[in-house]
Amino acid sequence: MIIKDKKSQPVVFAVSDSIGETAELVIRAAMVQFNSDKVDIRKVPYVTDNEYVEDIIEEAKNTADCVIVCTIILPEVRQHLLSLAEQNQIPIVDLMGPMMDTFSKIIEVKPHLQPGLVHRIDEDYFKKIEAIEFAVQYDDGKDPRGLSRADVVLIGVSRTSKTPLAMFLAHKRLKVANLRLVPEVAPPDELFHLPPKTIIGLTISPEKLFDIRQERLKALGLSTEATYAQLSRIMEEIEYADMIMEKIGCPKIDVSNKAVEEIATSILEIIRKGEV
């Protein structure tokens, strides 16, 4: 028997093999008819393989009062999702399948079966949106699954500009995940299975990091005596991060006294040289 966590409101998974915009719009249009916004809409974009489908089903199985709304074009992935949902008695609404099947009967042209084709009118714009959403979803190691889906993975200790860099590069249409390295938490196994050329290590001088963290604590109104900003702790973190980077064998960039734009330019140069 599956024991589900109790939620304060129903959960609707908006599952798509593109950005999930259509599914979310339909969900919100339906909820207006109930004069209610008391649902937790969880967008799950870029679902293009069966493994990801199985992860979604596992999460839904442990979520009380949930439904899946999907706009998946890829037949194999859509069918896998529908089958698993039925097997696990999870309510699911397939928005695209019936429409595609109906159109196939009246239109003498085979469908392209390409996710996100509706957005190709301004492909560059939507690539940027996709990259920005990716950077947000996989910021600070929130979900290790993002590491294998990223064009670039940034690793380094706290306050080495990983998040600003990820967002900057997202505007260049690059999918960037970032991961903070701390001695007490081992990096996810996924990191060590990536090609080293897809990873960029961000290093910094201990003195510069000390100043940055001191200023950060002051801005938050916290004591500058915190372990986070002690030089001995900083040295320990940097040594650990260097060890991980050496183990991976990835390119490294020293971010000391460099602006985000300058660091991003260095990363783009590495990419252009074919190192990433």
Supply the DSSP string of 114-181, one letter for each residue. -TTGGGGGGHHHHHHHHHHHHHHHTGGGS-THHHHH-SEEEEESTTSSHHHHHHHHHTTT--EEEEE-
Q: What is the dihedral of CA 228, 144, 169, 133, to 10 degrees?
A: -110
Tell me: is residue 157 an annotated ligand-binding position.
Answer: yes
Beta bridge partners of 71: 16
Task: Give the closest residue to 248 by CA, choosing from 183, 190, 209, 205.
Answer: 190
Tell me: is residue 159 an annotated ligand-binding position.
Answer: yes
Read off the DSSP letter of residue 5: B
Read off the DSSP letter of residue 63: B
Q: Tokens 């005596």 map to which residue?
A: 225
Tell me: is residue 161 an annotated ligand-binding position.
Answer: yes
| H or E stretch covering 199 | strand 199-203
Tell me: is residue 160 an annotated ligand-binding position.
Answer: yes
CB 145 within 8 A of CB 52: yes
Tell me: is residue 6 an annotated ligand-binding position.
Answer: no
Tell me: is residue 221 an annotated ligand-binding position.
Answer: no
Residues contributing to the annotated binding site for ADP: 156-163
